[in-house]
Structure 1
Amino acid sequence: MSDQSIGTAAQLRDPDYMPPLAKAIPLGIQHVLSMFVSNVTPAIIVAGAAGFGFGSGSPDFPELLYLIQMAMLFAGVATLLQTLSIGPVGAKLPIVQGTSFAFLPIMIPLVAGKGVDGLAALFTGALIGGLFHFCLGFFIGRIRFALPPLVTGLVVLMIGLALVQVGIQYAAGGVPLKGTPDYGSLAHWSAALVVVLVTLGVKFFTRGILSISAVLLGLVAGYLYAMLIGTLPPASIAASWQNAAVFALPDPFRYGMELSIAAVVGFCLMAVVSAIETVGDVSGIAKGGADREATEAEITGATFADGAGTALAAVFGSLPNTSFSQNVGLIAMTGVMSRHIVTIGALFLILCGLVPKVGALIRTIPIEVLGGGVIVMFGMVVASGISMLSAVTWDKRNMVIFAISLSLGLGLQLEPQALQHLPSTLSILLTSGLLPAAGLAIVLNLVLPDPLSEGSTDEISGGLSAPGKS
């Protein structure tokens, strides 16, 4: 689809331009396809961490469907806040919102093994964190100095590193099978590898909408493969479809409310990181789509919408929302800046969220097939963090900040029992890995002199040298 067939160069750079519906609808669906899998995956991961049964006969199955349903519905609602806006809330730009991976290292320990009972504290924390995120909009510009690429790149890297284990566990058959002969069997791994290989093939050997939907098509291939080898019986698909309602409205405070200091602190701290990520996405959209800098009103409005969308979603049992970076790249690729195209995509997401049968079909995806997609997605998160870190000047000061923050954060995440004597609130926050790494990097970046004195530099250099070297 050429730019000339959609509109003139000036129109393409105008967020208020509305292309003909015959062009706008496919472009809107294209935005949804590029983020669909990433949007519902966090809900499935949280459900798995909570111990929900994934079978259609499980007593927790309706709750799993509800989490998937809300992920779609409130991604659409939050996107509408950005594209249409309400007063100062919203950037009036083609920003696609979706469920954030960044909060998973905080959410997984909160719900681990607790079933539905763990969701009350999670959504209460998300509600308060969303309101805090909204308030960041009043002074977001003033705190950007504290989060240079060294810090933000480390945070994104830690998010990916904290989650890669999930992808391997899923590809091997899921945590419930751990310790059984079926865990890590060829049937599980072959399905995951089909997803990875098809994703790579589609991504690099096709163009346009096919390339953008590579992960989705990889999952479809893995799904068909699982049916072919018999690990996904057609009867289970039919049962899931029949047990799901045709239409359902969201249920406010479905899981009640429970105040957890660990949840509140964790969500508020991650809100700062999410806000800065949104600032970067807004800047990327303005530059890539309109070849200009984002205005202060657009950055402020986007931050307001980020927080409001998260708070509203939490009320109805949906996980925190943030702007989706993959859609920023899509705008730069298509050259179409119209916010109304993204509005069409948002309406499609809302429609899917109101139809539980869509969530029921998503949930029939075998866990090992989802694992293949998760390996790709979380690997890309790690790669994105490394890409951000490429902008850092790697002098000794920045190397020390990065080394200490990464070592402590990743070490505490890998060995949570090292903090078993701390109060539970502190233990949850610190063993997430992400928060201690981010907090330490921010503090060290603010307090360490830049550059270090010559004497300090020499001392550090000598301390880090290998034995036998000066």
Structure 2
Amino acid sequence: MTETSLGTPSQLRDPDYMPPFEKAVPLGIQHVLAMFVSNVTPAIIVAGAAGFGFGSNSPDFPELLYLIQMSMLFAGLATLLQTVTLGPVGAKLPIVQGTSFAFLPIMIPLVAGKGVDGLAALFGGVLIGGLFHAALGLVIGRIRFALPPLVTGLVVTMIGLALVKVGIQYAAGGVPAIGTPEYGSLLNWSAAIVVILVTLGLKFFARGMLSVSAVLIGLFAGYVFALATGMLTVEAVSLSWERAASFALPQPFKYGFELSFAAILGFCLMAFVSAVETVGDVSGVAKGGAGREATDKEIEGATFADGFGTAVSGIFGGLPNTSFSQNVGLIAMTGVMSRHVVTIGALFLILCGLVPKVGAVIRTIPIEVLGGGVIVMFGMVVSAGISILSDVSWTRRNGVIFAISISIGLGLQLEPGALQHLPSTLKILLSSGLLPAAVLAIVLNLILPEELAAEATEEISGGLSGTKDA
């Protein structure tokens, strides 16, 4: 599509401009395709961590479908808050909301092996954390100083590092298969490799929608491979489709409501990170789409929408929502700043969320196939964190802050047994690795002086060992 077919350059930079309907619809669908897999994957991972059975005959089958359904429905509703707005809630910008990977290191320990029983505390934390997140909209401009690139880059990197293990486990056959002969088999790995190869091929050698939807198309290729090799049967797909309803509304407090200190503290602390991520996305949308800086009103409204969208999602059994960075890049690529285009995508997500049969089809994706997509996505999270860290001035001070924070955070995540004598609440919070790393980085960055002795502020490139001039 050329600019002349969509509108004038000034129109394309205007968030309130509506392109011709026949052009706006595919652009809106393109936004959904860019975020679809990332949006539903956290629900599948949380269900797997809780111990839900993935088979069509499993008693947990309806619960898994419901979590997927809520991911789509409330991503769409939260996106509408951003594009259409509700009073001060929303930025009136083309910002796509979706389920956040950032909270997974917090959510997985909360539900691990507890089945449906672990969801009440989880969604209690989502609700309270969402309200806290919304409150940050009142002060977001004044707390950004506490979260420089050193801190945000470390946190994003830790999120990816905390999750890469999940991708490998899925590609090898899933957590339930660990210790069995088929775990890590060539067939399992081949399905994941097909997804990775197709995704990389499209990402680097295709353009337009094919490149934007590379992960989604890669999963489809893996799905076809699974059908061709017998990993998945047409009968299983048909059974899942038949068991799912054609239409279903969300149920408030479906899993109950429980106030867990570990859940509330974890979600509230991660709200800081998510809020800063949203500030960056709003700034990216304004700069990439309109060539200007984001206003304070837009940043505040976007943060309100982040928080309220998450809180409402928690009431109905949905996971935390945040702005999706991949859609920011899509706006810069298409040059279309219209919020109405994203509204069309939001309506499509809502429609999918009200039709459980869509979730039933997603559920039939073999765990090995999903593992290939997850490996790519979580690797990209690590890459994004390293990209943020590239903006850091690597003085000895910053190097020490990073070293201590990531060593303790990653170490506790790799060896949770070191915390066996702590109360269960603290064990859950610290074993995620993410929270101790984030808190250490924030506190050390605030209390350590910027200017130390001259020899302590030399760039790390001068050599931490002090042997450069030896």
Please give the TM-score of this superposition, normalised by the length of structure 2: 0.98
Equivalence for 2:40: 40
Q: Secondary structure at the match of 1:248?
A: coil
Equivalence for 1:185: 185
Q: Secondary structure at the match of 2:98?
A: strand
Q: Deviations over 1:167-211 (max 9, x none)?
A: 000000001010010000011000000000000111111110011
For the pair 1:426 / 2:398, whether they are aligned, the reply is no
Q: How does 1:24-173 map to 2 (within 5 A)?
A: 24-173=24-173
For the pair 1:227 / 2:236, whether they are aligned, the reply is no
Q: How does 1:397-408 map to 2 (within 5 A)?
A: 397-408=397-408
> Do 1:81 and 1:89's aligned partners in 2 also have CA atoms closer than 8 Å?
yes
> Do 2:83 and 2:93's aligned partners in 1 also have CA atoms closer than 8 Å?
yes
Equivalence for 2:263: 263
Cα distance in 1, alignment partners of residues 461 and 468 from structure 2: 13
Q: Secondary structure at the match of 1:137?
A: helix
Cα distance in 2, alignment partners of residues 167 and 442 from structure 1: 29
- The 3 A distance-change label for structure 1 pair 396 and 468 is closer
- Size of the aligned set, in residue pairs, is 469
One-letter amino acid of the structure 2 residue matched with residue 141 of structure 1 = G
One-letter amino acid of the structure 2 residue matched with residue 264 of structure 1 = I
One-letter amino acid of the structure 2 residue matched with residue 62 of structure 1 = P
Cα distance in 1, alignment partners of residues 462 and 339 from structure 2: 55
- The 3 A distance-change label for structure 1 pair 457 and 95 is closer
Q: Deviations over 1:226-272 (max 9, x none)?
A: 00001101110000000000000000000001111000000000001
Q: Deviations over 1:378-431 (max 9, x none)?
A: 000000000000000111111101000000000000000101111111111111
> Do 1:223 and 1:365's aligned partners in 2 also have CA atoms closer than 8 Å?
yes
Q: Secondary structure at the match of 2:181?
A: coil
One-letter amino acid of the structure 2 residue matched with residue 52 of structure 1 = F
Cα distance in 2, alignment partners of residues 34 and 88 from structure 1: 28
Q: Deviations over 1:87-129 (max 9, x none)?
A: 1000000000000000000000000000000000000001000
Cα distance in 2, alignment partners of residues 266 and 453 from structure 1: 37
Q: How does 1:349-368 map to 2 (within 5 A)?
A: 349-368=349-368
How far the C-alpha of 1:465 sits from its partner, in A, is 2.2
Q: Runs (4+) of structure 1 moved beyond 2 Å?
A: 454-458, 460-470
Cα distance in 1, alignment partners of residues 41 and 10 from structure 2: 37
Q: Secondary structure at the match of 2:322?
A: strand
Equivalence for 1:209: 209
- The 3 A distance-change label for structure 1 pair 408 and 463 is farther
> Do 2:397 and 2:456's aligned partners in 1 also have CA atoms closer than 8 Å?
no
Q: Deviations over 1:144-170 (max 9, x none)?
A: 011110000000000000000000000
> Do 1:396 and 1:461's aligned partners in 2 also have CA atoms closer than 8 Å?
no
One-letter amino acid of the structure 2 residue matched with residue 226 of structure 1 = A
> Do 2:109 and 2:428's aligned partners in 1 also have CA atoms closer than 8 Å?
yes
Cα distance in 1, alignment partners of residues 114 and 15 from structure 2: 45
Cα distance in 2, alignment partners of residues 467 and 370 from structure 1: 47
Cα distance in 1, alignment partners of residues 39 and 13 from structure 2: 27
Please give the TM-score of this superposition, normalised by the length of structure 1: 0.98
How far the C-alpha of 1:463 sits from its partner, in A, is 11
- The 3 A distance-change label for structure 1 pair 6 and 467 is closer
- The 3 A distance-change label for structure 1 pair 31 and 461 is closer
Aligned alpha-carbon RMSD (Å): 1.6
One-letter amino acid of the structure 2 residue matched with residue 145 of structure 1 = F
> Do 1:3 and 1:334's aligned partners in 2 also have CA atoms closer than 8 Å?
no
